[in-house]
Structure 1
Amino acid sequence: MAYFSPYIDASGLHIPAYTDIRDQLIADARSIFGQDIYLENDSQDYQWISAVSNIIYDAFLTNQAVYNSRGPSTAIGSPLDIIVKINGIKRQPAVYSTCPVLLTGSPGATVTNGVVGDSAGYMWSLTNPVILDGTGKATALATCQTPGPITANPGQITKIVTPTFGWIAVSNADYATLGAYAETDGQLRSRQSISTSQPSRTVLEGIKGAVAAVQGTERFEVYENDTNVIDSNGLPPHSITAVVEGGTNQDIAQAIYRKKGPGCYTNGTISVDITDQFGMPMPIRFYRPTYVDIDVVLNVKMLAGYTTETTDAIKSSTAQYIDSLNIGDDLTVSSLWGAALSANKVPNKPLFSITSLKASKHGQTPGTTDIVIAFNEVTRGNTANVTLNIT
C-alpha cells in the first residue's frame, strides 16, 4: 500500500504502515540523488532511512494511542483512569488478604513489626505492636504482603518469620478474608458502563449503577421481585435485593437509598439506617456474599517437560477461574477442564493431559454434576483444595 498522510474520517484515525513510510523515503531519496543510488538492505543509506522511518512510525503510533484515549472503550492504562473520573469512579486498587491470628508466648511479651508465614510460602505482616496478655496470648490481624485473593485455611498460618523473645507460636482458626488483584482495564470499562446507568430509565439499572460507583465495590448483583409472591430465589414480593462484595456498609446503603423507588422493600441480612432530610430513619437492607469453597480433583498424565511448576500452574489456573465467577453463578464442572488446561503454556507442546476431573462443594464427594450456587453465594477457589493425582 502506498504512503498517505494520516487522516481522520468516520471510522477513526488512519496512519500509514512502517513499510509505506520506508518505501516513500526511498523513492524520495532516488528522486533527489538519482535512480542509480544504491539503497539495498546492506547499504548505510538504507539503514539510515530505515531508522528514520521507524521513528516516524513510532510518532504516528503515539498519535493513534492519544486518539484512542479519548473514550473508555479504547483507552488503556492511565488515560482510562482519567476518562472514568468523569463518571465519578476510579480504578479499584489491589487489596491484600487479611486473617486474624492468635499469638502465644510469655505474658507481657511485645512483638514489634512481626511477620508470619503460611504453608504456601506467603508472608503476612502483623498489626504493630502486639502485646501478649497475662495468659500469654494476643489476637492480631495478619495482612498478606502479596496483593490478590491469597487464601489461608484454618491452621495454615503457623510459621514465625521474625522470631521475638517471648513469642512461641502463631496459628489461625479462621479463613482469611480474600483480597483482590488491581482492577484490569476490561473490568474498569465494564464497571464504567454500568455506572452510567445511574440516570437510567429504570430504577433497577439506577441501583446497579450506584452500587458499581461505590468505592471499594468488587462483585455485586441486584435482583428484583416485582410479583406478589415469593420468587424462586426465596426473595420477598415487591423487593430489591442487592448482594455486594467490598465497599462499606454505609456507602452501599446510601447508594441503594438514593436510587430505590418509594415503597420498595430492600431485602437482606445487613441493615443500615439512613436518615432522610426530615430526620426520619429508613432501614436499608442488603446481603454480603457467602463464600462457597470448591474442591477439585484432577487425574493428570505427565508429558515431556512436566515439572512441579506445572503442578502449581494447574492449581493456580483452576483456583483463579473459580474465583472469577460472579455472585450467584453456578459452577459448570466441564468449564474447569479449560481452566486447568490453560496451564499448558507451551504452544503445540502440551505438558500434560487430563484424564478425569471432578468437583464439589468443600467437604462433599467430588463428582461431575454442576454445582448450584444460591443467589447470595459466590464460589471461592483455593489451591489447597485442588488435588492432583499424577500418573
Structure 2
Amino acid sequence: MSNVPSPAFTTAGLTVPTESAIKEGLWADFQAAFGGNLNESDATPQGQLVTSLTAVIGAANDLLLSYVNLVDPARTSGRMQDAIGRIYYMERIAGQPTVVTCTCTGRAGTVIPDAALAQATDGRLYQSLGAVTIPSGGTVSIDFASVDVGPIECAPGTLTRIYRVVPGWDAITNPSAGVPGRNIETATEFEARRAGSVAANAAGSLPAVKGAVLAVDGVSDAYVTENATGSAVTIGGVSIAARSIYVCVSGGTDADVAKAIWSKKPPGCAMTGSTSVTVTDTSEGYSPPYPSYTVKLQRPTPKPIYFAVALADNGQVPADAEAQIRAAIAAAFAGQDGGPRARIGGKVYALRFVSAVAGLGTWAQVVSLQIGTTSSPTSSEVDAGIGEIPTLAQANISVTLV
C-alpha cells in the first residue's frame, strides 16, 4: 500500500494533497522498497526520480481538480461551460456588431433592401437590418449594423456614405452614436444567462418574455416591465398603457423580436411600444388563413454619455495618455473589462470607470471623474430611462491634467 495521500471528496468538494505531502509519501515508499538508508537529496538519481513522480502525480491531481470545478456551473468556462449550456439548449452568444440608427433620404417609394451597405468615415462597412420603403416625406430611419463584430465606435455624423448604390436612395447619416456591439460572450455572462434561461421556460411572466427576447439572434439588450393597473402610468420616463407589458429591445429584427414576445406573453395582455409588427400563428392545427396578431415593441433612443477625467500631472503621464484612457473607458462602458455594461434603463456611475483608468498604470492617478449628458459633465451618475440606451463616442471623453 502506497504512502502517497490520495484525493478525497468531502462536504466542501474535492481536496487534493499538497506536492510536499506527495513527495514525503513517495520517499516513504522508496525507502521501504529499497531497504531504507536512501539519500533523499534531490541531486541523487533517486531524488530526481521522486521529484519527477511528484510533479506527475501533482499534475494529474490538478487536472482532476480542474475537471471537477468545471462541472460546477458557478466555476465553469470554455468547452465544459458550452456543454452545460447545451443541457439547456443554449449556445454561447457570438460577437455582435455595433447597431446605429440612421436617417436615410431619397425618392418616395424607393425600397432600401435588406443588407444595403453604407460606410463610415473610418472605413468600416455597415449593413441595413431589414428592407425599408422610403415614405412620402422622403426620409426614413433604418438600423444599420457593422459588418465586423465587437464594440466598434460609431460617433454621430460618421456613417455618411452609401457604399452600394440603390437608385432613389440619395443620402445617409447617423444623428446619434451607435450602440456598441460586443465580443464573444464571456464565462460570467454565459452563466448569468444560463441561470436566467430557466425563467424563459415559463409562460405568462415578465422573465419569460425577457428570456425569449434575449435569446433572439442579434439582440444585445432588453428591458421588460408592465403596468398592471387600470390606467396609464409613467415608469422610467415612459407612459405605459393600462394593463399592458412594455418591451424595449436593442438589436435583432422586428419580426424575430415580435415573434419571441408573442410566444411568451399572456393571452389578452395589451402592449405598449412605437413599433407594431404582425405575427402569424402557423402552429399545427391551423390552416390558411392563419390567425394573426399585432405585437408592439419599443426600440431604445440612444442617450449619449460624456466623461470628464482629471488626471494628476505627476510627470509620468505618457504622451498617448488620452488615447489610452479613452480606450479603457470605452471598453469598460461595453463591459469588456468583466464589469457590468451600460444597459437600457440602467444607471451609469462615474466610479465604475475609475478603476479602468487607474488600471492603466501607476501614472494614472485620477483626481476626479465625472459624467453627464452634455459636453461639460458634472455628475457622479446618469440615469437612462427604460426607453433609452446609453451610448459612448470616444470623442466625448475629455482628459485634463491638474
TM normalised by structure 1 equals 0.77
Q: Which runs of structure 2 are paired with 1:222-261 in the superposition (5 Å)?
A: 222-233=224-235, 234-261=239-266
Does 1:316 pair with 2:327? yes
Query: What SS class does the counterpart of residue 331 from structure 1 fall into?
Result: strand
- Do the aligned partners of 1:273 and 1:281 also contact (CA within 8 Å) in 2? yes
Displacement of 1:158 after TM fit? Answer: 9.8
1-structure distance, mates of 2:218, 2:200: 18
Does 1:326 pair with 2:343? yes
State the number of aligned residues: 345
Does 1:273 pair with 2:278? yes
1-structure distance, mates of 2:67, 2:159: 47
Tell me which moved more, 313-322 or 335-344: 335-344
Query: For residue 208 of structure 1, what is the amino acid of its counterpart?
Result: K
1-structure distance, mates of 2:321, 2:19: 40
Query: For residue 398 of structure 2, what is the amino acid of its counterpart?
Result: T
Structure 2 match to 1:109 = none
Does 1:372 pair with 2:383? yes
Q: Which runs of structure 2 are paired with 1:180-191 in the superposition (5 Å)?
A: 180-191=182-193
Query: For residue 280 of structure 1, what is the amino acid of its counterpart?
Result: P
Does 1:388 pair with 2:388? no
Does 1:38 pair with 2:48? no
Displacement of 1:52 after TM fit? Answer: 2.1
Displacement of 1:117 after TM fit? Answer: 8.4
Q: Which runs of structure 2 are paired with 1:278-293 in the superposition (5 Å)?
A: 278=286, 279-293=290-304
Tell me which moved more, 68-77 or 292-301: 68-77
- Do the aligned partners of 2:375 and 2:396 also contact (CA within 8 Å) in 1? no
2-structure distance, mates of 1:291, 1:153: 11
Query: For residue 385 of structure 1, what is the amino acid of its counterpart?
Result: N
RMSD across aligned C-alpha pairs, in angstroms?
Answer: 3.3
Query: What SS class does the counterpart of residue 240 from structure 2 fall into?
Result: coil
Query: What SS class does the counterpart of residue 304 from structure 2 fall into?
Result: strand
1-structure distance, mates of 2:12, 2:41: 37
Query: For residue 78 of structure 2, what is the amino acid of its counterpart?
Result: G
TM normalised by structure 2 equals 0.75
Displacement of 1:201 after TM fit? Answer: 7.7
1-structure distance, mates of 2:345, 2:249: 11
Query: What SS class does the counterpart of residue 194 from structure 1 fall into?
Result: helix
2-structure distance, mates of 1:32, 1:383: 70
Does 1:27 pair with 2:39? no
Give per-residue Cα distances to partners, 1:272-327, cap 9 Å, x unaligned: 21123552211111122222121111121133643245433322222233331221
Structure 2 match to 1:214 = 216
Displacement of 1:357 after TM fit? Answer: 2.6
Does 1:150 pair with 2:152? yes
Query: What SS class does the counterpart of residue 89 from structure 1 fall into?
Result: coil
- Do the aligned partners of 1:310 and 1:343 also contact (CA within 8 Å) in 2? no
Structure 2 match to 1:335 = 352
Structure 2 match to 1:94 = 95
Does 1:70 pair with 2:71? yes
Greater relative contact order (CA < 8 Å, ≥ 6 in sequence): 2
**Distance change >3 Å, CA 40–CA 64, structure 1 → 2:** same
2-structure distance, mates of 1:30, 1:310: 62
- Do the aligned partners of 1:322 and 1:379 also contact (CA within 8 Å) in 2? no
2-structure distance, mates of 1:373, 1:177: 14
Tell me which moved more, 312-321 or 177-186: 312-321
**Distance change >3 Å, CA 97–CA 205, structure 1 → 2:** closer
Query: For residue 246 of structure 1, what is the amino acid of its counterpart?
Result: G
Displacement of 1:372 after TM fit? Answer: 2.4
Displacement of 1:77 after TM fit? Answer: 0.3
**Distance change >3 Å, CA 230–CA 125, structure 1 → 2:** closer
Structure 1 match to 2:60 = 59
**Distance change >3 Å, CA 274–CA 126, structure 1 → 2:** closer
Tell me which moved more, 85-94 or 314-323: 314-323
Return the match for 2:363 from 332, 339, 351: 351
Displacement of 1:92 after TM fit? Answer: 1.0
Displacement of 1:157 after TM fit? Answer: 7.4
Return the match for 2:372 from 360, 363, 388: 360
- Do the aligned partners of 2:73 and 2:191 also contact (CA within 8 Å) in 1? yes
Does 1:192 pair with 2:194? yes
Displacement of 1:263 after TM fit? Answer: 1.2
Query: What SS class does the counterpart of residue 8 from structure 1 fall into?
Result: strand
Structure 1 match to 2:48 = 47
Tell me which moved more, 319-328 or 72-81: 319-328
Displacement of 1:264 after TM fit? Answer: 0.7
2-structure distance, mates of 1:46, 1:304: 54
2-structure distance, mates of 1:369, 1:177: 22
Structure 2 match to 1:105 = none
1-structure distance, mates of 2:68, 2:349: 41
2-structure distance, mates of 1:68, 1:248: 38
1-structure distance, mates of 2:145, 2:261: 32
